[in-house]
């Protein structure tokens, strides 16, 4: 069985990302090891909601449960306009939430975990 792949979705500014990088760097310099982590950090809630709309989440769910599909087949399954689905696919590929493989798109994550902090 293949290892589970999890993506951490965070609202995090550049300062927090650099702090995380520095902590990891120092940990490695001290002889520690790091487990690979995959993190998608967006600067604020507005960016998160713009990037991951309800329609895009539905697309991800459909691909995760039934996919992979071509964009055309996915648009038909979702009963949505091809152009809009294509736009969503382009954005989700750019974010790293899905990948293009040959003429199809596929979800590469088993889990997407969100961390939304109210305060620092």
Architecture of the domain whose range is 52-109: Orthogonal Bundle (1.10)
Q: Quick: pLDDT tens for 81-103.
A: 999 999 999 999 999 899 999 99
Sketch the domain layout of the chain as residue ranges. 1-51, 52-109
> What phi and psi values does residue 106 have, to the nearest 5 degrees?
-145, 145
CB 6 within 8 A of CB 38: yes
CB 98 within 8 A of CB 57: no
The pLDDT profile of the chain, 120 residues, written as one tens digit per residue, is 455 688 888 887 777 777 878 887 888 888 888 776 687 888 888 888 899 999 999 999 999 999 899 999 999 999 999 999 999 999 999 998 999 999 999 998 888 888 777 765
């Amino acid at each position: 069985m293949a290892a589970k792949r999890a993506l951490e979705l965070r609202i995090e500014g550049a300062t927090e990302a650099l702090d995380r990088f520095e902590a990891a760097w120092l940990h490695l310099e001290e002889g520690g090891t790091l487990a690979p982590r995959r993190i998608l950090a967006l600067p604020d809630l507005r960016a998160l909601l713009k990037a991951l709309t309800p329609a895009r989440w539905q697309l991800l769910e459909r691909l995760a449960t039934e996919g992979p599909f071509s964009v055309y087949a996915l648009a038909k399954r979702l009963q949505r306009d091809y152009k809009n689905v294509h736009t969503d696919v382009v954005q989700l590929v750019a974010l790293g939430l899905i990948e293009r493989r040959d003429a199809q798109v596929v979800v590469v994550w088993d889990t997407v975990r969100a961390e939304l902090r109210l305060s620092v």
